Structure 1
Amino acid sequence: MGLTSHIEELKKKHSDLSHRVEAAQRAPGTSDAEIAEMKKQKLRLKEEITRLSAEPA
């Protein structure tokens, strides 16, 4: 897998996670801990995307 396709895959996962967080925040049965964990995962993905995007090709 090339670097560009890997970054695109990470962006897709980040976007999917964003939608899951939004849905979880609207769902009354979702705990704050679950939402916080998803947000942490989103942040890790964003940091990885940023790191990989900054690397020379």
Structure 2
Amino acid sequence: MSLASHLAELQRKHGDIERQIDEAMTSPSFDDLELIKLKRRKLALKDQIEKLRVPTTH
């Protein structure tokens, strides 16, 4: 998998989780712990995306 396709896949997953979070926040029956897990997954994906976008300098 190329870097560009990997980055695109991470961005797609990030968007999917963002939509799930939006839906969860409008649903009064949604579990708060599940919402926290979704937010953590979204943040982890964002971190991975940023690491791939910014070249590291040593």
Structure 2 matches for 1:31-42, cutoff 5 A? 31-42=31-42
Deviation at 1:29, TM superposition (A): 1.0
Deviation at 1:28, TM superposition (A): 1.2
**CA RMSD after TM alignment:** 1.1
Question: In structure 1, the residue corresponding to 2:49 is in which secondary structure?
Answer: helix
Deviation at 1:25, TM superposition (A): 0.7
Q: For residues 51 and 39 of structure 2, what CA distance do their matches in structure 1 show?
A: 18
Moved >4 Å (runs of 4+)? none
Q: For residues 13 and 55 of structure 1, what CA distance do their matches in structure 2 show?
A: 22
Partner of 2:4: 4
Of stretches 47-56 and 34-43 in structure 1, the one that deviates more from structure 2 is 47-56
Q: TM-score, normalised by structure 2?
A: 0.90
Q: For residues 16 and 31 of structure 1, what CA distance do their matches in structure 2 show?
A: 18
**Counterpart residue identity of residue 16, structure 2:** D
Provide the identity percentage.
36
- Aligned residue pairs total 56
